[in-house]
Amino acid sequence: MKSDTAVPGKELPKTDPRVKLIAAKLKKENYQPDALIEILHTAQNAYGHLPKEVLTYITKALRLPPSRVYSTVTFYHFFSLKSKGEHTCLVCTGTACYVKGAQQILQAIEKETGIAPGKVSADNKLGVQVARCIGACGLAPAVVIDEEVQAKASPEEIIQKLNAKIGKI
Amino acid sequence: MNTIPITIDDKKIEADPGKSILEVCRENDIEILTMCHLKGILDIGACRLCLVEIEGMNKLLSACTTKVAANMIIRTNTDRIRKYQRITTELFFAERNHVCAVCVANGQCELQDLGYKVGLDHIRYPHLFPQCEVDTSHPWYVLDHNRCIMCSRCVRVCNEVEGAHNWDIKNRGHQVRIISDFDTPWGESVTCTSCGKCLHACPTGAIWPKAIVQGQLQKNPGMICELMEKRKMRL
């Protein structure tokens, strides 16, 4: 065992507004280890994903074992260790959306941008994800671009919207 | 203390309330197969080998996590239970790469013993043959994911007995793996105390000391229970 028992990792800049958000949440939850998931939610919303330094910071603040935090983060699909991209495009592949052509939309996106489902573009501008069902089957096929639901989407329409987002037009 | 009457395999038994079915069976020399159970640490009912039939209940329940209740009629050795034990054992072998002939734990392995006990001669499921890592970064010990059956005994021993909580489990489904700290190599872990209790807790040859070869592993899983009892007796 190494003499320094502190978890190694870069210190987070205290002036960063995202760090301030997490610090405020930690204080609100009274640094209780049971509040891990709530705090991870705050961190994920602030950063878009969970960088290693942030996990280290939360681990230290809650006095939790690092493996416990890592285990929680990898168990839930909501949390991500890698960046999901500046802009996100979530394609629903539930039964209704699948029947209405979700696969064609995914194929069109991959053909146009070269991003496979679950991947992020090399410049981190756009991430493409798939969901089992977003509960909007009446709007099938549904696509969510930056938290905005696109109802009865067509491949052409989605490509056009995505190009506008990543600034190709 | 008041005891409660229960029936296990047509045998009438007076059991202490608050005990699990598994504990009562072991006290009365009734054999129940287990894998994730280790005396001295908490039971989680993960391996599903200790399933028993309880009259009036459709589901099979795990003996290690079910407490005895008055007038329970339990069966531990029916065709249905033997069928499930066989399935579970086959799945253990099919999930990772278990090759007894080159394993340090050959002859000292609970999974191997289980295979003999259920009379395993072939496996009906396709082997997954996953590409698993072998972590040799620790100066004394090795962690071989190929031989891990995800019983989580090492995780619980490290947390409950040693109190270090170096181990935990990442991901879910077939991608689960034992991890130390932030999925860092074992040798770089800051929480591991190198106490070696996980070696003794491991039922297979997934964690073993360096510098031994095939079949040389010496393990003492009973040490965990002894430690916990000594702790309770501490003046």
Instruction: Encode A41-85 in three state secondary structure.
Output: HHHHHHHCCCCHHHHHHHHHHHCCCHHHHHHHHHHCCCCCCCCCC
The Cα–Cα gap between B189 and B187 comes to: 6
CATH number at residue B65: 3.10.20.740
Structural domain of B50: 4-77
Neighbours of B82 (CB within 10 A): 14
Nearest CB to A70; choose among B183, B190, B192: B183
Asked if A66 and B191 come within 8 Å (Cβ–Cβ), the reply is: yes
Is A142 in CB contact (< 8 Å) with chain B? no
Name every chain B residue with its beta carbon within 8 A of the beta carbon of A52.
182
CB contact under 8 A, B182 and A75: no
pLDDT of residue B197: 95
Q: Which residues contact A28 (CB under 8 A, 6 or more apart)?
A: none
| Closest Cα in chain B to A8 | B190
B161 & B49 share domain: no
Residues from chain B that touch A1, judged by Cβ atoms under 8 A, are 190, 192-194
pLDDT tens per residue, range A128-163: 988 888 899 999 899 999 888 999 999 999 999 999
The number of domains in chain B is: 2
pLDDT at A48: 86
Q: Based on the domain organization, do B42 and B120 belong to the same domain?
A: no
On whether the CB atoms of residues A155 and A82 are closer than 8 A, the answer is: no
Please indicate, yes or no, whether residues B196 and B150 belong to a single structural domain of this protein: yes
Mean predicted lDDT score pLDDT of chain B = 94
CA B102 and chain centroid, separation: 22
A55 interfaces chain B, CB cutoff of 8 Å: yes
Query: Are the beta carbons of A75 and B168 separated by less than 8 Å?
Result: no
Averaged confidence pLDDT in chain A: 89
Average pLDDT of the segment spanning B54-76: 95
- Give the one of A4, A55, A67 whose C-beta lies nearest to B168's C-beta: A67
Positions of chain A with pLDDT lower than 50, given as ranges: 1-4, 169
Residue A92, phi then psi, degrees to nearest 5: -80, 130
Angle, CA of B174, B176 and B179, to the nearest 5°: 160
The number of angstroms, rounded, from the C-alpha of B16 to the middle of its chain's C-alpha atoms is 24
Which of A25, A41, A75 is a domain's end point? Answer: A75
> Residue A56 is part of which domain span?
17-75
Q: In this complex, is the C-beta atom of B173 within 8 Å of any C-beta atom belonging to chain A?
A: no
In this structure, the answer to whether residues A100 and A127 fall within a common structural domain is: yes
Question: What per-residue confidence (pLDDT) applies to A6?
Answer: 56
* pLDDT (0 to 100) of residue A2: 44
